[in-house]
Amino acid sequence: MKYDRIDRNLFIKNRAKFTAAMEHRSIAFFNSNDIYPISADSTMPFQQHRDIFYLSGVDQEESILVLFPDAFNEEHREMLFLRETNEHIAVWEGEKLTKEAAFETSGIKNVYWLDQFESTMKVVMAQAQNIYFNTNEHTRANTEVQTREDRFIKKITKKYPAHGVRKSATILHRIRSVKEQEEIDLMQTACDITKKGVQRVLDFLKPGVMEYEIEAEIMHEFLRSRSKGFAYTPIIASGKNACVLHYIENNAKCEDGDVILMDFGAEYANYASDLTRCFPVNGKFTDRQKAVYNAVLNVKKESEKLLVPGTFLADYHKEVGKLMESELLGLGLIDQTDIKNQDPNWPAFKKYFMHGTSHFIGLDTHDVGLWTEPLRAGMVFTCEPGIYIPEENLGIRLEDDLVVQSNGSPKNLMGSIPIEADEIEDLMH
């Protein structure tokens, strides 16, 4: 890992929150992700399953976390099973966690090798009534690929068919959505690294450069700042490409007179950041570009004020729609007739602003969280309104990461990154 070791007290607190929500006489399992193959002997870079990381800090493959707070023996109440390391593994793959290092990382005293898992389970499963399985229930998840967790669930269900089944997702979506201060600090580090990428682009951008060259400049800053890289596939979209919401080809030339939309963020210690900025390629917005830009910025500033405890996200997005409707009227993109004749399920403003304004962010860029419960202090959201005008080859989106506060407006983790149109022009010159 490139990042500094995280204080294990974070993971101790996270486990306490999870076990406090478990039913009596229940046991919970959490597995690492697989290392996914590509072809021949090639694999994707390892990415840890966010839930086992959240609860233990363990950031390596072939690991199992077991939580059984009602176990008869104290040594069975928190258990970590790891792949046994040796000199051969250290030479060919690098050092893996020892039992001592696993304790320092997680705060879990009872660390075992994987070959002890089956025999230990025979003892503890006889005491358990229910099993908490960790299924992926994110509303946007694609679950076609079978995971290590999926295989584990099939195996345990077949071996212990008489146990009741519970799901971890509901608990995790609730507790993961409210960040501890240590998590907010890690996200701030990710945002600070992202800022370095923005500063590098401001110095580099000019007519004639390629979108992928900008992507490379950003990646340079990320890697040299102890990040693994982008938290998600970056969007570097100049001119008309900015009107494609998930444009990731990043292979066009930046032309004089265009505005470039850049949606990217650094990860740090598995935590994500998510930023969008729009810059004039030649360093100067046209009057029309600046009018659209400021309209989006106005919506963003007013939308942020709505991210307060007690708000429901569905209501929040309706209010943002009203703000956008007003700005689009001012720009002449829609008129009162459009509003009068609009479909309530697809309002007139959706022609130019067709996506949501905010999503949870944390260990995942689109982090877990419950839309059926009101906002609470400590939740972190993006705020990213946009206006897309294909006929003008212009797309503007502005985005920051915001921490909901107990009183007042949210804290902007990206507040020091330039966003005012005049400031951007000054910096580019």
Residue 92: is its pLDDT beyond 80?
no
Task: Give per-residue pLDDT as tens, 224-236.
Answer: 999 999 999 999 9
86: pLDDT confidence band, cut at 50, 70 and 90?
confident
Return d(Cα 105, Cα 97) in angstroms, integer: 9
Q: What is the pLDDT of residue 298?
A: 98
Return d(Cα 406, Cα 305) in angstroms, integer: 13
Residue 94: is its pLDDT beyond 80?
no
Query: What percent of the chain has a predicted confidence (pLDDT) above 70?
Result: 99
Q: What is the pLDDT of residue 143?
A: 84
Tokens linked to 283 = 């360093």
Return d(Cα 116, Cα 347) in angstroms, integer: 59
Tokens linked to 37 = 């193959």
Q: ∠ CA(200), CA(203), CA(209), 5° rounding?
A: 95
Residue 327: is its pLDDT beyond 80?
yes
Task: Give per-residue pLDDT as tens, 154-186.
Answer: 999 999 999 999 999 999 999 999 999 999 999
Segments making up each domain of the chain, as ranges: 9-177, 181-428
pTM assigned to the model: 0.96
383: pLDDT confidence band, cut at 50, 70 and 90?
very high
Name the CATH superfamily for 181-428. Creatinase/methionine aminopeptidase superfamily (3.90.230.10)
The secondary structure of residue 360, as a DSSP letter, is B
May I ask the CATH architecture of the domain 9-177? 3-Layer(aba) Sandwich (3.40)
Task: Give per-residue pLDDT as tens, 224-272.
Answer: 999 999 999 999 999 999 999 999 999 999 999 999 999 999 999 999 9
Return d(Cα 55, Cα 83) in angstroms, integer: 18
Return d(Cα 413, Cα 400) in angstroms, integer: 7
Task: Give per-residue pLDDT as tens, 36-66.
Answer: 999 999 999 999 999 999 999 999 999 999 9
Residue 91: is its pLDDT beyond 70?
no
Q: What is the pLDDT of residue 90?
A: 66
What region, left, alpha or beta, does residue 368 occupy, with left being phi > 0 and alpha being psi -120 to 50 degrees?
beta
